[in-house]
Structure 1
């Protein structure tokens, strides 16, 4: 009886246009996230960084959103602020301008910067779901692609679609760019790369990805011809992404007169974690220090952290190379995932806010969705919702200790 009732509904659902189905999924996920945020607000106390009884507006404008708002209202400092010890203090140069000023421009129409920021995050999140489905549907099938959208829109980091962070916009630009590379339609990338590069850090990973795509295409040119026109595009776009990736450092140095203004600003946040601070930037040093720091916090020898880091890197590399579900995504998306993970490993210090930096790995939801068992997919969805609640609970509901930073 139940099957007879469900079958017409399933058929009706399948006949709906894909954008409408994705809109239903996305809106349902946003309702769930809103309820979870309200639950977190109800448990917040005076000990929380948000205080007792915060509203959704407080969450939406918390943490990095405050920095984006400050940049939009005050611009970037021409003189770097300093701590009592003379080190560069946290400042706006750590936050790229596109999201900040786009939210301000839209906020002039909607009435406030926060309204503009929320609108951009929500709309960009929906468009990112459309882009993810388009990117994956020809690789893993329409059903798995739709489930990828479900996991993405309701996943552990889904609250980022409803706060004043740049992640939604960046991921939208990224997914569109990955799709353009896959379809070998390079023209729009000359516009998208600069916009993406000034939305949030990560464009250097895209430069590496383009380089690896070029190498892969060259090695496979006997089976997949590589015309001279495409070589020119890949080289030019890789060079553009590299220039854009370093241009913010040059701009910060030019405006402030401090050669390492941007790196010193980024390291200002790392000093909150490492005793004595960080004397300078060295690639991969952040994760090495972080592994030792966290294992020390857990009462274990620091070298255990280094061993765990090596095992993690080896395990992820093996999964990208050999896991059947990941291989189904195609070599290009595996190269993007490897490029971005290598970028994170090279430049970031692992801590709680690093979790949200995993959002650009959204194409990997396709690998999660490949198995076709309905119970498996429902179990994954349940795990996504649980993880989303835990992230919101600890980062927003409690938010009272050093590792609870969204």
Structure 2
């Protein structure tokens, strides 16, 4: 139904809608990837000397740009035993900011040289399709066949859908995440013993999953009269929460052990933030970065520092209300709502918001299920158009105009 409405298939040609969901989702995904490739081609034609890619780069350069180069560098050279520093002795950008699963998997499949690049993009493409399929299976019992299909249309066409065909680890992480959420929703906790470490060493964010498991355990305890809570489930939730917490801190410990600098990972992450705020001493304190950034950006935009603080507070309250009481959000089920709340808290605690914030919000993609609940053709069609417009805006800004300050994907 959703696909027929979207592409206006005539009645005599709608038999394909009776095909398995994997095929229908595959069609949506392939069409969406073709549109995204067209956007990349357009960005390459519009790229100028002001972009880090220069005038009229080939599309492959865009797909392997920005952080994809770090992943390639890891695949070829590994991680530094000595942290690189600038003339003042401060740690500078280096490989320890990136987790090893994605680059080494691409090296395994494609080799260290030219073959690494198609392997890396291939992993993103395949993981993106499988992620769409798992997200559909996660949403369908909650919002129904029609809305779940539309959620995948939105997800495949989303403003950040370019991550499905660039050399970034996001698509692979989303696949692990959606599988993990499906396992929790269906009480298949044993699979998480493999998925949690995969998440932890693909990209940052597993600490948010540890918080999610804690909240999930509390929710199951409160609802134990409506849904029995076997002792085995309690053990799994507690042990997996502990494993997720340990895994979340494992990479910083490994970075410190290899480099001989205990806070090597933190110093590396802070090297990307250094210089944004004048006079910033580079120290890390949970939740401080978002507060500082709100004042900094609104002052930069000429809207006043205090305005930034007010907007941030209102935004946090609005998100909390929507996750707790929003009627459409409640339809996607407690697992997606608790995950979304956990991930928002995690971002507020650790991230300094700049243009990368759009990419960092992608793990909230299960909420597309809430956006798909309204059955209005105007709403759904308009949202697809908005998604594609946002996708072009993002690709154009981050690649055709991409620079090292305002336009960072």
Indicate the TM-score class for this superposition, using the shorter chain for normalisation: over 0.9
CA RMSD of superposed structures (Å): 1.6
Q: 2:278 matched to 1:275?
A: yes
Q: Distance in 1 between matches of 2:9 and 2:335?
A: 42
**Which blocks of at least 5 consecutive residues in structure 1 are unaligned?**
none
Q: Distance in 2 between matches of 1:205 and 1:74?
A: 30
Q: CA deviation at 1:5?
A: 7.7
Contact 2:289 2:351 in 1 (8 A): yes
Deviation digits for residues 152-186 of structure 1 (CA, Å, limit 9, x no counterpart): 01110011111000000000000000000100011
Runs of 4+ in 1 over 4 A off after TM superposition: none
Q: 2:230 matched to 1:227?
A: yes
Show the counterpart of 2:11: 7
| SS of aligned partner of 2:315 | helix
Q: Matches of residues 177-196 of structure 1 in structure 2 within 5 Å? A: 177-196=180-199
Q: Matches of residues 87-166 of structure 1 in structure 2 within 5 Å? A: 87-108=90-111, 112-166=115-169
Q: Distance in 2 between matches of 1:157 and 1:134?
A: 21
2:27 is matched with which residue: 15, 18, 24?
A: 24
**Which blocks of at least 5 consecutive residues in structure 2 are unaligned?**
none
Q: CA deviation at 1:402?
A: 1.5
2:171 is matched with which residue: 151, 168, 171?
A: 168
Q: Distance in 2 between matches of 1:299 and 1:361?
A: 30
Contact 2:320 2:341 in 1 (8 A): yes
Deviation digits for residues 238-288 of structure 1 (CA, Å, limit 9, x no counterpart): 000000000111111111111111111100000131223443211011101
Contact 1:270 1:278 in 2 (8 A): no
Contact 1:103 1:120 in 2 (8 A): yes
Show the counterpart of 2:58: 55
Q: Distance in 1 between matches of 2:36 and 2:317?
A: 34
TM-score (normalised: structure 2): 0.96
TM-score (normalised: structure 1): 0.97
Show the counterpart of 1:368: 371
Q: CA deviation at 1:110?
A: 9.7
